């Protein structure tokens, strides 16, 4: 319920992508938003007002002269009640009209009369998106402070392939969440790690751990929503990176070390969430080992580099944050790790409290002491961690 209490006017314009707006209403409502739908006449040719009324639980407005408003000023009343106006899909025609200040229907008039921010998610044919007139209109809207989200590239309803597809509803919701999040890390470059590493014994066997990567990906998402430019060096996980986050996929601890060290010197903040294997196999086999050749040979282990400690030791090192997952003695082990690696902040948890799950219990350890966080979903804990980092770095 990350949008609890937020009032959003969703404007739907004419285009085949209008059908996706129905799912968008549902997802925004699931996040706690109060969604009011307003449609252009063209949009009603693709999806009915009844559909949106059923999903939002509110009457839908599509007529500038709608008499349901006592003062006949729906364009004023609806926009004044909103924390955000979101246009999805935004057709080429609608972009042209609002870029030039036209107010010839309810939705365009509402945009012109608004006192709240405006987000638009364009959706149109490839050639229409690339047309110089559309590019000028989009540039003018951006100059006027309108946030443009998308479009994506892919197969279009007309059969062509290229830029112009509206972002998927889940992606638009992520952009809305990011819009409302306090930008406590605006302008900061953040490099982080997440997930497990895999140390090969042979081409099919290896040493790894049970880390799902969920906590690290939640932190990456929260950091991006807080305004940071996020690079996520990730071991093998089963899900996609957060919207707007650059992911560098790696497999082994050495791969992760190389990827991090190539980027850490330019970072303002480094967060090591990954469960990096302490050791790798020194004598990994080129081919699959067979039991019928006298049994498995002894496995020789060699220590992997300590990524967090090496980043913290860099000249002009970024602000470093480590993670400590323990089965016992959390405070003792986490504080020892913080002092040994010389980092200002460690986030610790007991593995029985959230290892691999959606919820967790975090305790933050810094120079000021011990800060236990209330058990919560990892998405919430990630935001609290980012706020704590911002506080320690002077951003709050």
What's the pLDDT tens digit per position in 334-383? Answer: 999 999 999 999 999 998 876 767 888 999 999 999 999 999 999 999 99
Q: Are 205 and 326 members of one domain?
A: yes
- CA-based nearest residue to 187, from 238, 226, 142: 226
% of the chain with per-residue pLDDT over 90: 82
User: What CATH number is attached to the domain comprising 78?
Assistant: 3.40.50.1950
**Residue 2 covered by a domain:** no
| 116 domain-assigned | yes
Higher pLDDT, 194 or 62: 194
On whether the CB atoms of residues 7 and 29 are closer than 8 A, the answer is no
- Return the CATH number at 210: 3.40.50.10300
Q: Are residues 22 and 78 in the same domain?
A: yes
Residue 176 lies in a domain: yes
Q: Is residue 297 part of a domain?
A: yes
Of residues 217, 162, 169, 159, the one with CA closest to residue 24: 169
Looking at residue 170, its pLDDT comes to 95
State which residues form the domain around 73: 7-180
Q: What is the pLDDT of residue 158?
A: 74
Helices (H), 244-372: 253-261, 307-312, 330-341
Joined together, the tokens standing for residue 275 give 């469960």
Share of the chain above pLDDT 70, in %: 95
What per-residue confidence (pLDDT) applies to 26?
A: 97
385 and 305 in a single domain? The answer is: yes
49 and 153 part of one domain: yes
Query: What pLDDT, on the 0 to 100 scale, is given for residue 39?
Result: 95
- For the chain, what is the largest distance between any 2 Cα atoms, rounded to a whole number of angstroms? 89
**Same domain as 13, residue 161:** yes
Domain count, the chain: 2
* Whole-prediction pTM: 0.85
User: What is the pLDDT at residue 73?
Assistant: 64
The residues annotated as belonging to the active site are: 158
Angle at 67 between CA 64 and CA 71, to 5 degrees: 90
**pLDDT band per the 50, 70, 90 thresholds, residue 396:** very low
pLDDT at 354: 67
Looking at residue 292, its pLDDT comes to 73
Residues 110 and 240 in one domain: no
Determine the average pLDDT of the residues in 315-323. Answer: 96
Residue 303 lies inside a defined structural domain of this protein: yes
pLDDT tens-digit readout, 236-257:
999 899 989 999 999 999 999 9
Look at residues 180, 214, 241 and tell me which one is the last residue of a structural domain: 180
200 within some domain = yes
**Four-residue CA torsion sign, 343, 347, 350, 356:** negative
For residue 340, count other CB atoms closer than 10 A to its CB.
11
Q: How far apart (Å, rounded) are the C-alpha atoms in residues 244 and 252?
A: 25
Q: Is the same domain home to 330 and 210?
A: yes
Residues 64 and 211 in one domain: no
* Whether 117 and 233 share a structural domain: no
The answer to whether residues 289 and 335 belong to one domain is: yes
Same domain, 270 and 131: no
End of a domain among 152, 180, 208?
180
Q: Which of 150, 180, 210 is the last residue of a domain?
A: 180
Residue 346: strand, helix, or coil: strand
Mean pLDDT (the chain) is 92
Note the pLDDT tens digit of each residue in 85-125: 999 999 999 999 999 999 989 999 999 999 999 999 999 99
> 245 and 368 in one domain?
yes
Question: Within a domain: residue 107?
Answer: yes
Per DSSP bridges, beta strands 301-303 and 279-281 are antiparallel
Distance CA 245, CA 229 (A): 7
CB 259 within 8 A of CB 248: yes
In a domain, 1, yes or no: no
Spatial distance between the Cα atoms of 195 and 327, rounded to a whole number of angstroms = 18
């Amino acid at each position: 319920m990350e949008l609890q209490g937020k009032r959003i006017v969703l404007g739907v314009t004419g285009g085949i992508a209008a059908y996706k707006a129905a799912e968008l209403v549902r997802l925004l409502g699931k996040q706690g938003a109060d969604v009011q739908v307003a449609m252009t006449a063209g949009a009603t040719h693709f999806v009915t007002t009844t559909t949106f009324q059923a999903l939002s639980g509110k009457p839908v407005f599509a007529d500038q002269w709608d008499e349901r408003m006592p003062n006949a000023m729906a364009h004023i009343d609806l926009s004044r009640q909103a924390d955000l106006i979101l246009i999805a899909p935004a057709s080429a025609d609608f972009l042209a009209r609002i870029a030039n200040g036209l107010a010839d229907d309810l939705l365009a008039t509402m945009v012109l009369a608004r006192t709240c921010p405006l987000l638009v998610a364009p959706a149109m044919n490839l050639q229409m998106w690339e047309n110089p007139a559309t590019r000028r209109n989009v540039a003018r809207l951006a100059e006027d402070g309108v946030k443009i989200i998308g479009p994506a590239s892919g197969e279009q309803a007309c059969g062509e392939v290229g830029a112009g597809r509206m972002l998927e509803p889940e992606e638009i919701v992520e952009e809305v969440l990011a819009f409302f999040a306090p930008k406590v890390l605006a302008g900061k470059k953040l490099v982080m790690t997440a997930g497990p590493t895999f140390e090969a014994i042979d081409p099919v066997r290896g040493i790894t751990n049970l880390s799902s990567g969920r906590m690290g990906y939640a932190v990456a998402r929260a950091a991006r929503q807080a305004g940071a430019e996020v690079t996520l060096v990730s071991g093998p996980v089963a899900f996609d990176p957060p919207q707007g986050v650059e992911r560098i996929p790696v497999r082994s601890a050495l791969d992760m070390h190389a990827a991090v060290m190539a980027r850490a010197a330019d970072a303002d903040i480094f967060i090591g969430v990954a469960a990096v294997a302490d050791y790798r196999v020194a004598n990994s086999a080129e081919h699959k080992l067979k039991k019928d050749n006298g049994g498995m040979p002894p496995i020789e282990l060699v220590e992997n580099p300590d990524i967090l400690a090496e980043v913290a030791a860099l000249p002009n090192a970024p602000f470093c944050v480590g993670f400590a997952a323990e089965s016992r003695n959390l405070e003792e082990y986490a504080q020892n790790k913080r002092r040994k690696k010389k980092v200002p902040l460690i986030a610790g948890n007991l593995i029985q409290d959230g290892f691999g799950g959606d919820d967790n219990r975090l305790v933050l350890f810094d120079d000021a002491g011990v800060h236990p966080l209330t058990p919560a979903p990892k998405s919430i804990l990630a935001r609290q961690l980012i706020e704590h980092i911002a506080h320690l770095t002077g951003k709050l």
